[in-house]
Amino acid sequence: MKIAFISSGTFTHIQSYIDFFKEQGHEVYFIALSPSPQRNVPVLQAWIGKETKFNLVRDKWKYLLAAFKAKKIVRGLKPDIVHGHYATSAGVALLVCNFQNSVITVHGSDVNSSMKSATWRFILKRIFKSVKYVNVVSNELELKVRSLGVDASKIVNVNVGIDVGKYYKNIGKSSIGDNYKLKIICNRSFEPVYDHFTILKGLKVLQEKEIPYEAVFLGDGSMKESLERFTVNNELQNVKFLGRIPNAEQPYVFSNHNIYVSASLSDGTSLSLLEALASGLFPIVSDIKANRDILQHNRNGLLFPVGDFTQFANCLEELFLQKHVSEDKLCFNQQLVSKVGDRKVNLKKIESLYRSILS
């Protein structure tokens, strides 16, 4: 098959799709709606303007112009399948392209944010009507897409998954207390939807209670400076910001920690959470539907109310006082990831979807 993927040039997970389908022997192209790094396949630039002056936050209006350029590219390329990622960018491009064999994947924030706008709800309905299938990555997103009038037969619920073998760690006794500290890690982007302030406020409570811990934050984003400033102003000396690290190094960094945290306000199926579970980390995360689809409170994780830093701190304190995490819980989580989040299995389902469209 000749497959063209469309997304913003910096979409994190597009490389996973590109690599998988290239390895399966398909002819793969990437149509970039904003400046993109090299992708190991031909990158067809649909964005306009100077790369050095392109600001993805300020210049979102340029996605519309890029959509018309993408239409011209698709006409010339004549692919079998066009697969767009993110409804609010690639979805608009697919609507403009009006290509018969197209799929749109919604990843979370594109739908969650747009549902509040009557204009965007109208546009989303048009986008979803124009494509063959809507790929959602969580049960919560499926419900929201269906609420826009999309028939269930047109919705495919499959997340991209993770490279399970890359993150898998043999589970031994997981010491938390005794002479050990809570070794906490978070790798969510520093954006408002991930509510890092709740985590930092909770860590401040731990510090006031003299509960030993170490916390590491990975990544970057628009909130980074304000989060670092909060950390300094509140003398959170055991909090470190490591910035972006190569994806290949993340399993090693995870292996030096024992707790994964996330305070997300909303989400799709979190690949960060799946990676943490495969790595044998115990999760303490916000009580949102996407997390409840994977975790049960006190069974294989701890959930706290959205935005409640006191309850978040209580979860950490509870874990510290227990002094260990059951091996059964950690192994259960690894088995769960293999069942619902194995990239090879999940992308095989997407490949089958493509074949069904062409047949």
Domain spans, the chain? 2-161+342-358, 164-340
**Mean pLDDT, rounded, for 222-243:** 96
pLDDT of residue 86 exceeding 80: yes
Q: What CATH class is the domain 2-161+342-358? A: alpha beta
Q: What is the pLDDT of residue 48?
A: 81
| Residue-level pLDDT at 168 | 83
Q: What is the pLDDT of residue 57?
A: 62
Confidence of residue 47 (pLDDT cuts 50, 70, 90): confident
| Residue 179: pLDDT over 60 | no
| CA distances from residue 90 to 84, 85, 131, 148 in whole angstroms, order as listed | 5, 6, 12, 18
Angle between helices 309-322 and 196-208 (to 10 degrees): 50
Answer whether residue 51 shows pLDDT above 70.
Answer: no
Nearest Cα to 163, choosing from 345, 3, 10? 345
Angle among Cα 242, 239, 243 to the nearest 5 degrees reads 15
Average pLDDT (76-105) is 96
Give the pLDDT of residue 12. 82
In this predicted model, what pLDDT tens digit does every residue of 144-165 receive, in sequence order? 999 999 999 999 999 999 999 8
The whole-angstrom separation of Cα 99 and Cα 193 is 33
- Topology agreement, domain 2-161+342-358 and domain 164-340: yes
How many residues are given for the chain? 359
Among 167-171, 178-182, 297-301, name the one with the lowest average pLDDT.
178-182
In the prediction, which pLDDT does 49 show?
Answer: 73
Mean pLDDT for the chain overall: 91
Radius of gyration of the chain from its Cα atoms, rounded to whole angstroms: 21
pLDDT band at 77 (very low <50, low <70, confident <90, very high): very high
Of 40-44, 93-97, 158-162, 324-328, the poorest mean pLDDT is in 324-328
Q: How far apart are CA 38 and CA 61, in angstroms?
A: 24
Residue closest to 21 by CA, chosen among 41, 35, 37, 6: 41
Here the tokens at position 313 are: 């701190």
90-94: which pairs have CB atoms within 8 A and are 24 or more residues apart? Answer: 90/6, 90/7, 90/8, 90/33, 91/123, 91/124, 91/127, 92/63, 92/64, 92/67, 92/123, 92/127, 93/6, 93/31, 93/33, 93/46, 93/63, 93/66, 93/67, 94/6, 94/127, 94/130, 94/131
78 vs 2: CA distance, rounded Å: 8
pLDDT bin (cut points 50, 70, 90) of residue 268 is: confident
108 pLDDT tier (thresholds 50, 70, 90)? confident
The per-residue pLDDT for range 114-128, each reduced to its tens digit, is 888 899 999 999 999
Of the chain, the percentage scoring pLDDT greater than 70 comes to 94
What band does 196 get if pLDDT is binned at 50, 70 and 90?
Answer: very high
Name every residue whose Cβ is closer than 8 Å to that of residue 333 and which is 6 or more positions away in sequence. 277, 278, 280, 283, 300, 301
A 10 A CB-CB count for 315 gives 22
| pLDDT of res. 180 | 60
Classify domain 164-340 at the CATH class level: alpha beta
What pLDDT score does 174 carry? 55
Least confident residue range of 16-30, 31-45, 147-161, 177-191: 177-191
Cα distances from 254 to residues 181, 250, 272, 281, 347, in angstroms, run: 15, 6, 11, 8, 25
| pLDDT for residue 55 | 65
Judged against a pLDDT cut of 50, whether residue 177 lies above it is answered with no
pTM of the model: 0.84
Res. 329: pLDDT tops 50: yes
Cα distance between residue 133 and residue 354, in whole Å: 10
The Cα 266–Cα 194 span in angstroms is 8
